[in-house]
């Protein structure tokens, strides 16, 4: 992928990709395969040793990573023989302690056989606030059921909803200590994701409570999985994973689903169109945006920021290189060399590690100076959270929505493809960050970005209304 950045109004090109969140990572296991608790302990201690020494999150917090107490807590409740599902769930629960959205469970390497089946899933999407589960909408409208939208689910096939949710909420770390990305995943992928906890079946017995408090039992048929589809607004200019619309004469709407390379000409076209129009207010919609290309982020920010800003990109002195395969070590060496050879704005060696600094220069002719609203949610992460943070702290803007999964002050990343850490007993592969990025912002906040206007959905509004746009119309009087 070709990416670029602006340095003193000149262009540098090179082949690197940064800041992407792995998605979708669900696989369904044969529940009969067994491993031992002893194997699990060896794997978890190996992961702890690696991350305690070399993970870039160690540079973000006052205390270094240390999973030992969490490992003891997680394994104390487990039997001596484990299914593949229980084994992976234990790894995921400990991995949440890494506080890095780019470090996550990736796959089984082949020592355990897996299978995927998507035609016998739970027939409802749900809504969760992280503590309870409510019925939200059917996966397929034609399926008959006595469950109603807004019913609180108490149990599924005899498994208590709070026990199921506790496992599913350990599925993916955030930047920081939150569970925002996990909440997003559970809310949007529950029908298929539930099979991480409950074996696939042709029917599901659901005990639920309606709005009046009446408890009832429903037997619902399994169904084939269908993902939710985002409905685009009327498009004026279409990019690869972004588009621009005008909602009213003076109100522009820029939706960025992910931040792709080779999108720079698209953004130039958008901001030229804005400059030539009557648009005084711009809505930047970064909801459900897991990030993407770092240098496209920089180019995009040049249209929003009034002053020169920067961020630093640090490769730690104590790093994970010894734990990677030869192939990943070579890729990492080449990637780090390219950063230096292609002359970031400055490069220095410090006690922390090798530090590259990149400047973001304002666009002198097409910079947008009007009112800016930025829409965020739990999956606003990586490069999208970087843009959100700079928009908040380096220009006047209003953030509306939910707390982001990406950090307000920092994030971890890698050069090129993210290396994999392979656990020695199970062969589970962990996608791992290698560098830390710190933003030029006054916020020393180590968790996600809490919007200026925080909006909370419930089972009756989630997926059915757009509370963020409704709030903007209220604020501007339309």
Mean pLDDT of the chain: 87
* Element housing 116 (H / E): none
| Domains defined along the chain, listed by start | 2-20+229-476 (3.90.226.10), 124-221 (2.30.42.10)
Q: What is the spatial distance between Cα 300 and Cα 282, in angstroms, rounded to a whole number?
A: 14
Angle formed by the axes of helices 264-275 and 294-301, nearest 10°: 20
Asked if pLDDT for residue 196 goes beyond 90, the answer is no
* Element housing 126 (H / E): strand 124-128
Order of all β-strands in the sheet with 104-108: 104-108, 428-431, 420-422
pLDDT per residue as tens digits for the range 140-156: 877 777 799 999 999 99
SS3 assignment, position 216 = strand
Query: Which pLDDT score, from 0 to 100, does residue 141 have?
Result: 77
Pairing of strands 435-439, 133-138: unpaired
Query: Which pLDDT score, from 0 to 100, does residue 146 have?
Result: 79
Query: Which pLDDT score, from 0 to 100, does residue 25 have?
Result: 43
DSSP assignments along 360-403, one per residue:
EPPPTTT---SEEEEEE-TT--THHHHHHHHHHHHS--EEEES-
pLDDT per residue as tens digits for the range 449-460: 999 999 999 999
Query: Which pLDDT score, from 0 to 100, does residue 478 have?
Result: 64
Query: Which pLDDT score, from 0 to 100, does residue 4 have?
Result: 32
Q: Is 78 exposed, middle or buried (0-12, 13-18, 19+ CB in 10 A)?
A: middle
Asked if residues 151 and 204 have their Cβ atoms less than 8 Å apart, the reply is: no
Output the CA–CA distances (angstroms, integers) from residue 152 to 127, 189, 199, in the order listed: 9, 18, 22
Asked if pLDDT for residue 441 goes beyond 80, the answer is yes
SS3 assignment, position 64 = coil
Asked if pLDDT for residue 11 goes beyond 80, the answer is no
Query: Which pLDDT score, from 0 to 100, does residue 111 have?
Result: 58
Q: What is the spatial distance between Cα 182 and Cα 168, in angstroms, rounded to a whole number?
A: 7
Q: Which of 436, 435, 421, 433 is nearest to 91 (CA)?
A: 421
Asked if pLDDT for residue 15 goes beyond 50, the answer is no
Q: What is the spatial distance between Cα 403 and Cα 451, in angstroms, rounded to a whole number?
A: 6
Asked if pLDDT for residue 7 goes beyond 60, the answer is no
Residue 400 Cα to chain centre, angstroms: 18
Query: Which pLDDT score, from 0 to 100, does residue 262 have?
Result: 84
End-to-end CA distance of the chain: 41
Q: What is the spatial distance between Cα 409 and Cα 389, in angstroms, rounded to a whole number?
A: 7
Asked if pLDDT for residue 392 goes beyond 60, the answer is yes
Asked if residues 278 and 330 have their Cβ atoms less than 8 Å apart, the reply is: no
Q: What is the spatial distance between Cα 274 and Cα 377, in angstroms, rounded to a whole number?
A: 25
Q: Which of 414, 404, 409 is nearest to 394 (CA)?
A: 409
Query: Which pLDDT score, from 0 to 100, does residue 443 have?
Result: 75
What does the pLDDT average to over 46-68? 93
User: Is-above-0.85 flag for pTM?
Assistant: yes
- Output the six-digit token pair for 385: 């959270």
Asked if pLDDT for residue 28 goes beyond 60, the answer is no
Query: Which pLDDT score, from 0 to 100, does residue 10 have?
Result: 36
Asked if pLDDT for residue 31 goes beyond 70, the answer is no
SS3 assignment, position 175 = coil
302 band by pLDDT with thresholds 50, 70 and 90? very high
The phi-psi region of residue 368 (left if phi > 0; otherwise alpha if psi is between -120 and 50; otherwise beta) is beta
């Amino acid at each position: 992928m070709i990416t670029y950045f602006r340095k003193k109004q000149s262009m540098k090109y090179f082949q690197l990709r940064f800041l992407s969140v792995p998605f979708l990572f669900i696989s369904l296991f044969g529940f009969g395969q067994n491993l031992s608790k002893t194997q699990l302990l060896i794997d978890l201690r190996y992961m702890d040793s690696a991350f305690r020494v070399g993970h870039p999150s160690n540079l973000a917090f006052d205390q270094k990573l240390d999973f030992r107490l969490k490992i003891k807590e997680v394994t104390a409740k487990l039997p001596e023989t484990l299914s593949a599902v229980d084994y992976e769930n234990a790894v995921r629960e400990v991995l949440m302690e890494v506080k890095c959205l780019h470090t996550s469970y990736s796959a089984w390497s082949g020592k355990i056989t897996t299978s995927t089946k998507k035609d016998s899933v739970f027939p409802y999407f749900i809504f969760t606030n992280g503590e309870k589960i409510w019925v939200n909408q059917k996966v397929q409208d034609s399926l008959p059921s006595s469950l109603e939208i807004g019913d609180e689910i108490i149990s599924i096939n005899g498994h208590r909803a709070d026990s199921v949710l506790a496992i599913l909420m350990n599925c993916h770390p955030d930047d920081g200590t939150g569970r925002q990305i996990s909440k997003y995943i559970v809310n949007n992928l529950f029908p298929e994701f539930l099979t991480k906890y409950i074996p696939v079946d042709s029917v599901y017995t659901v005990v639920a409570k309606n709005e009046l408090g009446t408890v009832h039992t429903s037997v619902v048929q399994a169904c084939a999985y269908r993902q939710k589809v985002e409905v685009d607004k009327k498009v004026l200019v279409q990019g690869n994973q972004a588009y621009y619309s005008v909602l009213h004469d003076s109100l522009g709407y820029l939706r960025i689903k992910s931040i792709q390379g080779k999108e720079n000409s698209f953004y130039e076209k958008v901001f030229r169109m804005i400059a030539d129009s009557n648009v005084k207010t711009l809505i930047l919609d970064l909801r459900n945006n897991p990030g993407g290309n770092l240098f496209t982020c920089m180019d995009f920010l040049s249209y929003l920021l009034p002053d020169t800003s920067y961020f630093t990109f640090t490769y730690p002195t104590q790093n994970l290189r010894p734990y990677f395969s030869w192939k990943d070590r070579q890729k990492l060496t080449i990637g780090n060399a390219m950063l230096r050879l292609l002359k970031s704005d400055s490069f220095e060696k410090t006690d922390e590690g090798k530090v590259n600094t990149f400047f973001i220069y304002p666009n002198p002719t097409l910079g947008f100076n009007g009112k800016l609203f930025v829409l965020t949610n739990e999956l606003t992460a990586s490069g999208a959270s970087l843009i959100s943070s700079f928009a908040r702290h380096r220009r006047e803007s209003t953030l509306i929505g939910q707390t982001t999964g990406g950090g307000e002050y920092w994030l971890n990343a890698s050069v090129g493809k993210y290396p994999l850490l392979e656990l020695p007993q199970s062969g589970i592969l962990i996608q791992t960050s290698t560098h830390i990025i710190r933003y030029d912002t006054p916020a020393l906040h180590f968790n996600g970005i809490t919007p200026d206007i925080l909006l909370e959905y419930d089972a009756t509004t989630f997926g059915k209304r757009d509370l963020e746009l409704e709030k903007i119309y209220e604020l501007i009087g339309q």
